[in-house]
Amino acid sequence: MEINALKIHPKDNVAVAIKPLKAGDRILGVASDLLIAGQDIPKNHKLALEEISIGGKIIKYGESIGLATKTIQPGQWVHTHNLKAED
């Protein structure tokens, strides 16, 4: 099985899909290989590595890139439908 996602920084709570992922695919290349894609995730898009609560910071590159607008479960796609810029 090939790596299909990368966690860029140790503090990150998201990984980046390096290949298109289908719902149900096992996420390989992050700390836990028990993570499953919750829905289809396009290549180069983010997916949650842990539960992120409403208002929780989305951490990529070790820095906050925005806030969750709803609870995001591990393996779910993180994008404009559930992420907003910090004020």
Architecture of domain 1-87: Roll (2.30)
- DSSP letter string over the chain? ----EE--STT-SEEEESS-B-TTPBP-SSS-TT-B-SS-B-TT-EEESS-B-TTPEEEETTEEEEEESS-B-TT-EESTTTEE---
Mean pLDDT throughout 32-54? Answer: 94
pTM: 0.93
CA 18 to centroid of chain Cα atoms:
12
Percent of the chain with pLDDT over 70: 97
All structural domains of the chain with their residue ranges: 1-87
